């Protein structure tokens, strides 16, 4: 019940409310921003959401060491635990369902990542959520993204990507040839004193108003 309480109070509920229920099983989503604005924090919040449902998560990182990824989860969990007395005691049980995979796109394609995820399932770890942090379009082919999309649909898995983007238009966040693979494209943009969370694509809709931002202290999704 305490996990359910944390799930109910998760900032991801704000995202879901603003995006018609958020990402669905079998879909791929994308979070973009300039470096240092909070992409990893958002991905970890989505990943933690899977764990709070007592489901298996695979966190794939292309530009962080595993210890850094663990630190992100520790920090986000600590913030969530403040919302529920005694929640800190749940941490070990929650993260036990997290698998961290560290690869380099210089010598490991997304298609091979999919093969690794399938191997996990064959070994008894059937993930319900995948986050892939630090995807570099220059090192990713259309076939790679299609392989992930096909995997997500076939296995009924939610998959979130993150990638760097300098501009705040959809074309800045994702190459036109890849846009159709993503059900949701969310972008973080510095605006005055806030980092706003902008939804550039929500399935067949573009530039959806969300009134969401990242809290400057906790980096949790919050309302403006």
pLDDT, block means (10 residues), the chain with 224 residues: 84 96 98 94 97 96 89 93 76 93 91 96 97 93 96 98 94 95 97 92 95 93 94
State the DSSP code for 191.
Answer: E
Spatial CB neighbours of 140, under 8 Å, sequence gap ≥ 6: 105, 109, 110
The pLDDT value given to residue 193: 86
Strand ranges across the sheet with 221-223? 98-102, 56-61, 127-133, 158-164, 28-33, 184-191, 194-202, 205-214, 221-223
The pLDDT value given to residue 86: 65
Closest CA to 152 of 7, 21, 23: 23
The pLDDT value given to residue 59: 97
The pLDDT value given to residue 107: 87
Closest CA to 212 of 204, 200, 203: 200
Q: What are phi and psi of 189, to 5 degrees?
A: -135, 130
The pLDDT value given to residue 122: 97
CA distance 188 to 206: 15
Q: What is the pTM (predicted TM-score) of this model?
A: 0.95
The pLDDT value given to residue 51: 96
């Amino acid at each position: 019940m305490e996990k359910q309480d944390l799930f109910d109070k998760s900032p991801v509920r704000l995202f879901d409310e603003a995006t018609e229920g958020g990402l669905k099983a079998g879909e791929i989503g994308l979070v973009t921003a300039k470096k240092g604005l909070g992409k990893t924090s958002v991905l970890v919040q989505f990943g933690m959401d899977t764990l709070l449902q007592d489901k298996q998560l695979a966190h794939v990182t292309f530009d962080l060491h595993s210890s850094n990824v663990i630190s992100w989860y520790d920090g986000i969990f600590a913030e969530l635990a403040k919302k529920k007395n005694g929640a800190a005691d749940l941490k070990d049980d929650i993260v036990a369902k997290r698998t961290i995979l560290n690869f380099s796109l210089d010598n490991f394609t997304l298609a091979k990542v999919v093969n690794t995820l399938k191997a996990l399932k064959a070994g008894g770890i059937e993930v319900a959520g995948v986050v892939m942090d630090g995807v570099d379009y220059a090192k990713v082919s259309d076939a790679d993204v299609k392989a992930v999309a096909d995997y997500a649909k076939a296995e009924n898995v939610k998959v979130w990507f993150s990638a760097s983007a300098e501009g705040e238009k959809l074309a800045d966040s994702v190459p036109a040839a890849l846009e159709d693979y993503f059900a949701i494209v969310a972008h973080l943009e510095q605006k005055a004193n806030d980092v706003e969370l902008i939804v550039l694509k929500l399935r067949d809709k573009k530039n959806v108003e969300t009134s969401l931002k990242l809290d400057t202290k906790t980096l949790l999704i919050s309302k403006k």
